[in-house]
A and B are shown apart, each in its own frame.
Chain A
């Protein structure tokens, strides 16, 4: 079969005629070896680490407050005192972008965690139990897949925003709502992947052996099947982070995400789009930040797909 065709260019230098390496590497080390060969994925990982480092450690290095209003320096292009320029209220864009990046990336990671958790749970239960439970769960998965996500996201946020705000405060309330809703609409692909893995893995000899030794279903699932189904889940999780960041930015861009005083990247773009003709930098910097983050995550996911695909032999 042509199933072993790599999804992208890797391992150009490998010689199929070279004698087999006598050393044996563990699966993670093997994956790392393959991952390093995917140059763009490696670059993506480095860039992503740089971005994360910048937003995590940035506030210690760049101590300008995010909400210092200075009308004299309104919509200024980049300069030494404001490396990325200022916004329409004269607030420093670099400081705001560092702050916004923290939120955007936190939303991405948290939504991914939720999506992976529910997806794995649903997929594992469906794949392990089969029968009517499987059929029901898969119907639910397909139903969720055909829901119009953005309209529903908007609808849910519109309906629940105010009550959650009053319970846990504006910032946390919107954060929880957005993370749960975005994660709640992204678990389906993971569930399908996990179920497919379970269906094939549960018939394998090592699982049967574990069962014959008297392992309980919970142990069989968590210790024997799940670790072997992890590869595709990791890849899906990586891509999910990018998708969640885009989803959050989209909501903020439509003016329905975080409140105006929390400058996520999407919110900055939303505010900037009214000043496009005389302050293009205001829109360009947050846009480029979203683009670079998403691009590096996508490349990282692509590299991981190649590195973790057990069918691939390099």
Chain B
């Protein structure tokens, strides 16, 4: 397992480099210039601008600039936010936990929905339950997250007035009250993301279980006299989850996209809403850094999926 993990880690490095190259190319190809603001400022003489360009090495060839950018990113020097006058890494460090908590709990919710419903639907294909579950799954992943968010706000915040629709980081309460308020304001963002993912995963789980449930080894397990519960959970589900893990890992970028939208709707102070506000404020260092963090997160979750593979199917890890 350790060797397998190490190999997966080594495979992740080229994709990290690839992503950084893509990011840097986009930035290098883009028209415009970080010193544009200085150019329009009449108080800055052109010589000063030239010197600044030279000092920051903006006129160097692209490979040189790329290497410099990568080494400074690796050293933890992520630049300085134009808009909020704070180091970018501090800004992101402050925001990242919120995003991770929201995404993590919504994925947990999605799994709690998808696995039981998918398994039950697959063990009774074409039953009423299956058809109802299938219809809801279709509706669930056809509803874009931004519209679900608006519907939730309309229903739970405006009509019923149960939940707050603006996420606040500075809750003045203490003790239990503090956690309760945090829980209350997290319900809607987590539910929006979790229901959307849960809906598409339900279909994956169902079709994966349906594929294995008729294989001979499952019939063998049944004929050994094992209870249906053991057959389904220990024999069918474990193998069915292997393709599901692949699909879930492939969906990681979509999940982060959904998180950006959800954070924006409910004004959750995470890195997604940081990205949007940075774009609206033309804050290039923050935009680059957040995009890179998202890329790293995708790769990290893909690694996690690889670990899960190794656990679900030991043959993969020993190979």
A residues sitting closer than 8 Å to B (CB atoms) are: 2-3, 5, 7-9, 139, 142-143, 145-152, 154-156, 158-160, 162-163, 242, 246, 249-250, 253-256, 266, 269, 272-273, 276-277, 280, 283-284, 287, 290-291, 294-295, 298-299, 302
Contacts and interface: CB of A to CB of B under 8 A. Distances in A.
B160 to A, nearest CB: 13
Given A142-B15, A273-B265, 11 more contacts: A5-B125, A146-B295, A148-B294, A150-B253, A150-B260, A151-B260, A156-B26, A159-B26, A250-B146, A291-B143, A291-B147
Interface residues of B, number: 60
B239 interface: no
Contacts of A7: 207
A26 B85 CA distance: 68
B138 A146 contact: no
B150 to A, nearest CB: 5
Nearest to A256: B279
A250 B264 CA distance: 11
Q: Which A-B residue pairs are the 5 nearest by beta carbons?
A: A150-B257, A159-B30, A148-B294, A295-B142, A287-B147
Nearest to A164: B31
Looking at chain A's contact residues, the main secondary structure is helix
B26 A276 contact: no
B30 A160 contact: yes
A147 B265 contact: no
A242 to B, nearest CB: 7
B147 A269 contact: yes
Contacts of A3: 211
Contacts of A246: 144
Contacts of A8: 134
Contacts of A151: 256-257, 260, 275, 290-291, 294-295
Interface stretch (B49-57, B62-70, B151-159): B151-159
Nearest to A140: B18
B84 interface: no
Contacts of A242: 142
B279 A148 contact: no
B212 A154 contact: no
Nearest to A252: B146
B101 interface: no
Given A146-B302, A254-B261, A158 B158 contact: no
Nearest to A158: B279
A158 B287 contact: yes
A145 B131 CA distance: 32
B280 interface: yes
Given A2-B215, A276-B158, A291-B144, A250 B15 contact: no
A287 B150 contact: yes
A156 B215 CA distance: 47
Interface string B259-289: 0110011000000000110011010000110
Contacts of B126: 9
B22 interface: yes
Contact of B211 (A2, A152, A155, A276): A2
B146 A253 contact: yes
Contact of A147 (B144, B150, B298): B298
A299 B28 CA distance: 42
Nearest to B271: A151
Contact of A249 (B142, B146, B158): B146
Contacts of B210: 2, 5
A291 B252 CA distance: 22
A158 B158 CA distance: 34
Contact of B142 (A139, A143, A298): A298
A287 B158 contact: no
B19 A143 contact: yes
B134 A254 contact: no
A229 to B, nearest CB: 21
A249 B264 CA distance: 14
A154 B276 contact: yes
A211 to B, nearest CB: 34
B260 to A, nearest CB: 5
Contacts of A266: 146
B196 to A, nearest CB: 11
B298 A146 contact: yes
A269 B211 contact: no
29 contacts: A2-B214, A7-B207, A9-B126, A143-B18, A146-B19, A146-B299, A147-B295, A147-B298, A148-B257, A148-B291, A148-B294, A150-B261, A152-B22, A152-B23, A154-B287, A155-B23, A158-B287, A163-B32, A249-B146, A253-B146, A254-B264, A255-B276, A256-B279, A272-B150, A273-B265, A276-B158, A280-B154, A294-B142, A298-B141
